[in-house]
Amino acid sequence: MIRFLMGVCAVLCAHAVYAQSFNIRGKVTGTSDGEPLIGATVILKGTTTGTITDLDGQFQFSIPESAVQDSLLVSFVGFKSAVVPIGGRNEINISLSDDAELLGEVVVTAIGIAREKRSLGYAVNEIKSEEISDSRETDVIRAMNAKVPGVQITGTSGSPGASSNIVIRGNTSGTASNSPLFIIDGIPIDNSYRGSNFTDQANRVMDLNPEDIESISVLKGGAAAALYGVKAGNGVVVINTKKGKSGISEVTFSSTTLIDRVNKLPPIQRRFAQGSGGNFVPTSQFSWGPRLDTMRYNGIPNSSSQFGHLVGQSSPLATDREAQAYDNANRVFQTGVTLNNNLSFRGGNDVSGYFLSLGDVRQTGIIPNSEFNRTSVRVSGFTKVGKHFKAEGAANYIAVDAERTQRGSNLSGVTLGLFRAPPSYDLTNGSDDPVNDPTAFELTDGSQRTYFSNYDNPFWSVNRNRNREQTNRMMGHVEFSYQPKDWISVTNRTGLDHYNTTSKAWWDSRSGEFRAGGGLVINNNFTNTVFNNDLLVTLDHSFSENFRVTFIAGHNYRSEYNNSLYAEGEGFIIPGFYDLSNTPLQNQFVDDFIQRERAVGLYGDLNLSFWNWLYVHFTGRNDWLSNLPENRNSFFYPSTAVGLVFTDMLDIQSSVLPYGKLRASYSNVGNGAPIIYGTNPNMTFVGTNDGQGLLSFYPDALIGNVGLIPQNTTTWEIGTDLRLFQNRIGVDLTYFNAITTDQIELMSLPPSSGFSSQLQNIGKVVNQGIELLLTLQVLESNSPKKLGWESTINFTRLRNMVEELTETIDFVTLTTSGLESTSSIMAAGNPFGAFYGSAWARDENGNILVDDNGYPIVDGQRQIIGDPNPKFTAGWRNTFSYRNFDLTFLLDIRVGGDMYNGTRGVMNFHGTHADTDTREEFIVWDGVVASTGEVNTQEIRLDQDFYSRYGLVGVSEYNVERDINWFRMRDVSLAYRFPRQFMKKLPVRDISLAITARNLFLITNYTGIDPETSLSGAANSFGRDYFNNPNTRSFGFNLKVTI
């Protein structure tokens, strides 16, 4: 596909010379497959006379009669150049051999342009289809994890269809999304995240089928992404799908089965019973009761236990049955199963090609009644009409059906109810099937069976508090290319991305959350449509062998429409009937919200090539946006990049250093308002309240800001690309510095203003860092019988800092997600997303102050208490091949960055965390006595009194775990390809069988669940763990058959 895309780009840049007296014609093909090479350069050696092959690989031009005995110089990216004697012939067919050192060095860049990587002045990284497939991920974003330097990906949890947050080169905005723009075959698509209803909604790239992908290019710097406009301010992920190929006809079936299990849970104490102050209290929310090894059951069944209440072992009511510590987590978390089946058809000839795929994913989660199902159908094709016209298109239909469970700061949260449950309380009530057996979670009167009235039994929650979602999505594009002359082409590409999501969530009237209102039901219908059109004119001319100019002029039109129809009702009239019609009319609320956004852009792209070793690249784009004030909605942003292949310039190629390049780029990219109607005052319809039909309106709580100006990011980067020791070692090193100014953030206003908030330009954020990519051919295998070893290492060191905020603003709160005690903020002089909360009181030397009784003192002022940003991240991918076996594994490394473990704090408060196992021990707190300044020597006991003071939300800093590291095997696959001798006996071309695993092991110093988690989902805050759903470890196999 890379060869084809590059050929299309080149042929659209063709130029012919004026006719002479001797005509030469012919065809250029590849030696390996005989496929026509579209856009190969054919010139009379030593001159500028020549042309570029057309869509059929054919060429024709004229030379002087005096040159009929000279030679042709033929070249094409990824192939070895050839010098072919003319010998007086009018027709010459030429075959070029693959150049192993250059193949794969073509990448797809902005607006779908395929360019030779050596010509780029900025960093672009590519992920191949086999790297995506080897991960066995059903989510495209997670399939990219640990594979690209400068890209940080955080999966929210291991729940089916859970969101993933992706950030390229650091966060820049607190209000707008920091996610990059996603492009499929030149068309932008929506990747919205709409987390709500106490569940983790998927971001919409989850809809894509990874098996449809040929390659992914990550454009990180502004110089790489500038042509895409304002949506590309956070970088671009360019996805190229599989397409038909000439001379190939194949059918491929792939089937993957995975078993998913919880990979890490917080430690739970199993020694102490429900109660408080060392006494057993059967209705208590705490586990500060007596030691279980001193207790017996009284044998009188009740709603809490079929064996009766606990009594002391010396009590006359005691039976012989000893008190038991229940492993509730083992009963709540189940084995999840993922079934992923794909069938594709691919073929073509010299004139046309097609690709058709069918994909189906069926996933049940580790939490009961959680699932994610996705069915996708994709069809694409191309055809050539004559020598000047080509048409191509694609259509993709996706249907998603998901069921999600309650999580996070939520009285109905599954893990909240589980991890607060006393170890002496059996959440299953002795049932063998607690998910489907109501006696496990429901009493005979229909009320909930739980250890404490405010917190839901997890089995109640997964049955009585549900969240169901259905999405139907259609995306596609059509593209027409017309090449009237060899030196000019015109392309028009039109794309559409449309989807509708309907969801329904409800909480039973007897659930912990929304119990006061008698239960709640929420219906939501969300529709989103993105239309995009690009018109491109491409000119190309080689003035000589040493100078070539390519210029592209383009026009872009993009519109986005979304409509959210929201309805909720509170207070169910008939218990257990979860419908809006079952709520009183006066308790219902309906909102119909429509947003429209439009952008128009003009852009240009100029590439200059000198001597085939100096490349200069300029881009410029002007956008007009509808979401900025009318007199400020136009802005221009340029970029420039330079690439210098110094080994060619100095002619110093050697076996030690066959290739070396220096590169540098500068760019300026703008961004519009994150809220579409944030510039002008808006009115909300109230109704006809006067009885005469007069319409009533009131101003929105958000007041417009007509003085808003575009957010601006200026980026410069420098780097080098080296190939060493006969191309056995590749080094790509980049340093970048990105400065974002005039940040547009949603700011709170004082009540006296009459409004709640306003969009304002408020600050400056700087991201700078180093990216390193090493490619190693450790052991080169020239035959299947030899051991081969390829290795790729990527490394990122990023420093993020909020350098300035306007004088009237102390900080910007990113999100609390219901967790008010500790928030993520932007504050001047601190990293983006710093933790903000209560802290220990300290003296001028940083020592914690303690009172006269030895207890640490809490500072009265909230402050910065942690930095969630890692010091560096790295990924190490290895592929070993021997005979018919391939072993591939990916190691994922993160060093540094703090985590807020709110789960541990609350569990300590309740007495369920393993920390409270030491409740009978004494310690001396490290600090100085506030009243004397002396070193503290007073002992304190880590008992209920201590954790009542400092657990829960007593002091946020106590729950911040510092410098969290992880070392994990992200994925591993051992594949066996059946030998060709075996294939001859079957009507198939290839069969492979692979054993695969994800998160095979995790080594971390974090005491909670897997630290790859986020309470806020794919939103802008990160590093906070508050009863998040856990991650998973997966094992399974894959079968792939090609006919």
Q: What is the per-residue pLDDT across 524-540, written as a single tens digit (0 to 9) for each?
A: 999 999 999 999 999 99
Give 20's pLDDT tier (boundaries 50, 70, 90).
Answer: very low
pLDDT of residue 852: 96
Question: Residue 739: what are its φ and ψ, rounded to 5°?
Answer: -115, 115
Residue 74 dihedral angles phi and psi, to the nearest 5°:
-115, 130
In b/e form, how buried is each residue of 739-770, taking b as 16+ CB within 10 angstroms? bbbbbbbbbeeeeeeebebbbbbbbbbbbbbb
Distance in angstroms (rounded) separating the CA atoms of residues 621 and 639: 9
14 touches 487 (CB < 8 A)? yes
pLDDT confidence of residue 119: 87
pLDDT band at residue 465 under the 50/70/90 scheme: very high
The whole-number pLDDT of residue 635 equals 84
Per-residue pLDDT tens digits for 755-792:
888 888 898 999 999 999 999 999 987 666 689 999 99
DSSP 504-539: EEEE-TTSSTTTTTT-EEEEEEEEEEEEEEEEEEEE
Quick one: which of 822, 1027, 1015 has its CA closest to 163? 1015
117 DSSP 8-state letter: G
Look at residue 830 and tell me whether its pLDDT is greater than 80.
Answer: yes
For range 797-805, the mean pLDDT = 96
What pLDDT is recorded for position 116?
Answer: 82
* pLDDT band, residue 690 (cuts 50/70/90): low
Q: Helices (DSSP H) in 238-299: which residue ranges?
A: none
Confidence check: pLDDT of 17 > 60: no
Task: Please check whether residue 227 is in contact with residue 211, taking contact to mean a CB–CB distance below 8 angstroms.
Answer: no
Question: In the predicted model, what is the mean pLDDT of the chain?
Answer: 90
Sketch out the chain's domains with CATH numbers: 2-96 (2.60.40.1120), 106-242 (2.170.130.10)
Could you tell me the pLDDT band of residue 19, with boundaries at 50, 70 and 90?
very low
77 contacts 115 by C-beta, under 8 angstroms? no
Structural contact between residues 355 and 243, judged by C-beta atoms closer than 8 angstroms: yes
In whole angstroms, what is the distance from residue 191 CA to residue 170 CA? 18
Q: Is the pLDDT of residue 421 over 50?
A: yes
Strands (E), 349-422: 352-364, 371-385, 389-404
More confident site: 675 or 988: 988
DSSP count for the chain of H helices, then E strands: 11, 59
Q: Is the pLDDT of residue 799 over 50?
A: yes
Q: State the pLDDT confidence band at 689, using cuts at 50, 70 and 90.
A: low
pLDDT > 70? residue 157: yes
- Is-contact 47 91, C-beta < 8 A? no
Q: Residue 516 and residue 581: Cα distance in Å, rounded?
A: 19
How many Cβ atoms from other residues are within 10 Å of residue 969's Cβ?
Answer: 17
* Mean pLDDT in residue range 1028-1037: 96
pLDDT surpassing 60 at residue 691: no
| CA gap 666, 718 in Å, rounded | 9
Q: How far apart are CA 250 and CA 1043, in angstroms?
A: 6
Angstrom CA distances, 1018 to 136, 500, 973, stand at: 21, 20, 28
Instruction: Give the pLDDT band of residue 1000 (cuts 50, 70, 90).
Output: very high
Q: What is the largest CA-CA distance in the chain?
A: 120
**pLDDT band for position 196 (cuts 50, 70, 90):** low
pLDDT in tens, 200-248: 888 899 999 999 999 999 998 877 777 888 888 899 999 999 998 877 7
- Which pLDDT does position 4 carry in this prediction? 40
pLDDT score, position 8: 39
At residue 702, the pLDDT reads: 83
Length of the chain: 1043
Q: How far is CA 134 from CA 128, 496, 656, 878, in A?
A: 10, 30, 33, 12
Give pLDDT, residue 682: 74
Two tokens at 552? 């592209």
Cα-based angle 799, 804, 808 (whole degrees, multiple of 5): 145
Tens-digit pLDDT profile for residues 53-80: 876 788 888 888 888 888 898 887 667 7
Q: What sign has the CA pseudo-torsion 438, 443, 447, 451?
A: negative
